[in-house]
Structure 1
Amino acid sequence: MRVFMSALGIAIGISAMIAVVGISSSGRADLDRRLAELGTNMLTIAPGSTMTGGDAKLPPESAAMIARIGPVEKVAATGKLSSAKVYRNDRIPSGQSGGIAVLAAQLSVPDTVGATLADGIWFNAATEKYPGVVLGSSAAKRLGVAAAGPDVQVWLGGQRFTVLGILDPVPLAPELDGSALVGWTAAQTYLGFDAHPTTVYTRTAESAVDAVRAVLAATANPQAPNEVKVSRPSDALAAREATDEALTGLLLALGGVALLVGGVGVANTMVITVLERRAEIGLRRSLGATRGQIRLQFL
Structure 2
Amino acid sequence: MAEASPELVDVTIHGPRTRMRGVRAPNVELRPWIEDFPICQALTQYQILHIGIQEAVAPTRIVRTKQTTTYFLACIGGRGRVLIDGRWRICKQGFACLLPAHTLDAFEAIAGVKWEFCWVCYQRPAEQRPIADVISPVMARFEPLPLKSAILGLMHECNGPGQPTLMQEWADLIRAYVLRFAQPSDQPDALRLLWERVAGHLGEPWTLAKLAREAGYSNEHLRRLCRRQLGRSPMHQVTYLRMRRAAELLATTEHTIEAIAHDVGYQNPFVFSNAFTKWIG
Q: Which has the higher contact order (CA 8 A, sep 6+)?
A: 1
Structure with the larger strand share: 2
Normalising to structure 2: TM-score of the pair?
A: 0.22
Look at both structures and tell me which one has the larger radius of gyration over its CA atoms.
1
